[in-house]
Structure 1
Amino acid sequence: MAQKYIDYDMIQKYTELPDFPEFRTRILYAFLNRHSELHDYSELFSLVTSLVQLGLDTHDTVSITNQAKDMKSARSRQIKVLAGDYFSARFYFLLAEAGHIAMIGTLSDAICEANRLKIVFYQTLKSVNLTSEEYVAQSVEIRSRIYKAFSQFMEGSLYKVWPEILRLFTLCELLLQEIGKPEKQQQPDSWSFGYMLQQISKEERRNMQLEEPDPGKIRSIWMKYKISSQLYQLLETTTRQLQDKLRTLESKELSEELKLIGEPFDRYLSTPKVLEEI
């Protein structure tokens, strides 16, 4: 449903979009689809929430400065700004068209809170005092904030389990993305960067905090402290916690649906390369 808003030739030609928030969106749909009154709108609410999240994520990838000298980089920056605005506009339009004005207010409040959390997060990053555990907790809170806005609508036992299941899915999603980044692309707002800063020597720290760190030295630090193995183990632990939580659900149907959504985590951990790393 979101594809028709995302697959524009102009976007594909000049820039790349962040990953679609698939896991968070699918579990939101699964929960809303079991609501006594909101199940008829589960597709619409899941769609607009995913577009809001994608809009925020797209704006997050816009470079801070506008000093791109080549036309390709400058155009990419412009398209990201416009694409983020467009996704947000679709959210307003689709809800207004369907007459769900109150939901516009609910999600708008969540957007404001997510942006507030980002400001606090980035201010902490500047001080280089953020531990890897704090990075994970704050990153997951920011990523899940829009979806957490639906907590107030959850019924019965689902009201209690929604925040924790959302947190665990979001954390697994975050870890998969971290694992997928090459070590040379790790940034100060990554778990890996924060973890390395906690472990390394003063000389290694100086190398990492250079404006243009030596890729070879970064890779050496990465291998020395077995960052990939640490990420895999954290993903394995979180996946087990998620599986345990899903077993406690009263609705076995919902439990099975959520297990299917989380299957990519299990498949990834069962690959020979990952098993060797762990």
Structure 2
Amino acid sequence: MNSYRIPEMARKYMDYDMIRQHTDLPVFPEFRTHLLYAFLSRHSSLSGYSELFSLVTSLVQIGMDTHDLVSITNNAKETKAARSRQLKVLAGDYFSSRFYYLLSHAGQIELIGILSNAICEVNRKKMNLYQKMRQLNLTADDYIKLSVEIRAQLYLAFACLMEESLRHAWPEVLGLFTRCEVLLLEIGRSESAQQYRDSWGYWHILHQASKEEGKHVQAEDPDYAKLRSIWLKYKITPQLYQMLDSCMKQLQDKLQTLESKELAKELQLIGEPFARYLSTPKALEEI
């Protein structure tokens, strides 16, 4: 079995001077991609395609994530900002197009259709999320649920291709890993006053806080000191740490039920960053 090297392979398609100099790219979907590779590598007939399938899926995900970074409005007049916006659009299109090219050259036409349908479903879920946000009709729990579904959908499409013995485990393991990933990102956002908008904490406070507090959280130019006091009052960061701890325990319990102990051990290693994060002094204090 080949060692996992998808990030290095993807860098060939992502590492361009013009992109690095003029815009930022989203974080590589490491957990989901490594997870997909681990499951596919144990397929009796598809193991030889585990690298290709994992690579193209990561490129599609990077393409969609790059498009998500494009601002909704195009008011940027300054040359550098305008160029960054244009490159995000072009880079996202380029990354997404690579999966057509690579799969067609490998004769994997069926997977092109599977991933194309998954992309449509991701976009549908995103529109559902954005509509709920605009209407302020979104609970904090719904925010996490939809965020996990959107991130996992592309990878979930491989359920029909999994080895029979792993087919039922794939959606749940993927969902738990992705939930841990989302919660880890939300913890980071909760600790930065500049990233609170439309975060888990934002939606939690809107449904739990007083009208005055809710108006302050929704303000275009809030008082960040006041905002921080509201965050502390409703224990946003501690709650997220506790949610991550609970999710990690569910994941560990699930991995113990897998028939393949070798796979369970590999998945434990993939999830090690979550465990290390929860073992830091700050995390232990919050849990």
TM-score (norm 2): 0.94
User: Which of 248, 260, 264 matches 2:257?
Assistant: 248
Partner of 2:71: 63
Superposed CA deviations along residues 254-275 of structure 1, whole A, max 9, x for unmatched, are 0000000000000000011111
Matched, 1:197 2:185: no
Q: CA RMSD in A?
A: 1.0
Partner of 2:283: 274
Aligned length: 277
Superposed CA deviations along residues 110-132 of structure 1, whole A, max 9, x for unmatched, are 00011011111110111112111
Superposed CA deviations along residues 62-114 of structure 1, whole A, max 9, x for unmatched, are 00010013222111111111110010111111111111111111100000011
**Distance of 1:220 and 1:76 partners within structure 2:** 35
Matched, 1:169 2:190: no
Structure 2: tracts of 5 or more residues without a match: 1-8
Matched, 1:144 2:152: yes
Partner of 2:5: none
Task: Give the partner amino acid of 2:253.
Answer: D
Most deviating of 193-202 and 52-61: 193-202
Matched, 1:228 2:237: yes
Identical residues among aligned pairs (%): 64
Superposed CA deviations along residues 135-155 of structure 1, whole A, max 9, x for unmatched, are 111111111100010000112
Q: CA deviation at 1:200?
A: 1.1
TM-score (norm 1): 0.97
**Distance of 2:23 and 2:201 partners within structure 1:** 26
**Distance of 1:65 and 1:142 partners within structure 2:** 23
Partner of 1:15: 23
Matched, 1:264 2:273: yes
Superposed CA deviations along residues 140-184 of structure 1, whole A, max 9, x for unmatched, are 111110001000011223111100000000011111111122133
**Distance of 1:147 and 1:140 partners within structure 2:** 11
Q: CA deviation at 1:198?
A: 1.9
User: Which of 4, 9, 12 matches 2:12?
Assistant: 4
